[in-house]
Amino acid sequence: MLFEILGPLRCVSGSAEIDLSGRREGRILAALLLSAEQVVSAHRLVEMLWGEEPPATARQQVQNCVTGLVRLLRDRGVRLPVRRLEAGYLLTLGGEHLDAAAFQDEVARARERAAAGRPGAAVPVFRSALGRWRGPVLLGMDLGPFGPATARLEELRLTAAEHLFDLELGLGRHREVVADLAAEVGANPSRERLVAQYMRALAGCGRAAEALTVFHRIARMLWTEHAIEPGAELRSVQLAILRTTAAAKPAAEPPATAAGDRYRQLLTAVARAEAARRQLELAIRAAHDVTRAATPPA
């Protein structure tokens, strides 16, 4: 039996799939799977199912649902190893039966290989781990108090993806990862490490102008939506791309041509203008802060 929560809930036994969507038993199973090897209190299950206004029989209904879930799976030849304890319910499930556990095991192995100086061996293991994801954790389910557990798994996925991209870029595989990075940045535009990796991949593919456009778009978004400047990593990648591009000589022209000189001068001017713009913004913001501090409250 394989239970899958890295996407919509799936319960696969052999070639058959057990559909629990739209049932309380399915939501309870999802909560138990999210908390495998941990005791889940009946109170949290009640809160998930009914919120702040549960019926008087809520705890009994939860117990009935757990019993019904165990029987439903048993009728299909699947034993669900869940125990009822005084503090709640405990599901003990081997990693080979839960995709989230298998994902974390593979990520740990990939990190060990990378730490041992074997990036080429770590990459396929990272790829295998990330390939287990079919979408957001338990897509389509309202899990109430169990929401933070889904957010934790999503964060583990993003961190693993970032580690993979660092390894791939270090191996010079810019073209192999640029499309994946574009998708990740589209879904997580405020994740500056991903944006920096995307810019590096674009520049490595000879698309420096696109990389700089990405930087300016993200910088505007960060300031407009969060009132913050790009972080040090993003600014460092932008400056590196500007310097590399300015130092590069046009391939189609001899280095001493007037057109080549004008091209390099233009890129240098762009870099200087960007630095001046940032200094002006910082000065204006500092002046506003001083004015605000000097103005007595009404």
Helix axes 174-187, 192-204, angle to 10 degrees: 150
Task: Give the global pTM.
Answer: 0.80
CA distance 165 to 128: 14
pLDDT given at position 280: 65
Place of tokens 């583990």: 156
pLDDT given at position 285: 64
- Give which of 131, 129, 139 is closest to 104, Cα–Cα: 129
CA distances (Å), origin 10, targets 2, 5, 33, 67, 185: 8, 7, 11, 19, 28
Structural domains of the chain in order of their starting residue, each with its CATH number: 2-97 (1.10.10.10)
Token pair recorded at residue 166: 């660092």
CA distances (Å), origin 9, targets 153, 200, 250: 14, 36, 54
Q: What three-state secondary structure class fits 38?
A: coil
pLDDT given at position 153: 97
State CA 11 to chain mean position distance: 24
State CA 188 to chain mean position distance: 7
pLDDT given at position 68: 94
CA distance 126 to 124: 5
Quote the DSSP letter at residue 252: T
Give the H/E segment covering residue 12.
strand 10-13
pLDDT given at position 274: 64
CA distance 114 to 12: 33
pLDDT in tens, the chain (298 residues): 899 999 999 998 877 888 887 789 999 999 999 999 999 999 999 999 999 999 999 999 999 999 999 999 998 888 899 999 999 999 998 778 999 999 999 999 999 999 999 999 999 999 999 999 999 999 999 999 999 999 999 999 999 999 999 999 999 999 999 999 999 999 999 999 999 999 999 999 999 999 999 999 999 999 999 999 999 999 999 999 999 888 775 555 545 555 556 655 665 666 566 656 666 666 666 555 655 555 555 5
Quote the DSSP letter at residue 98: B
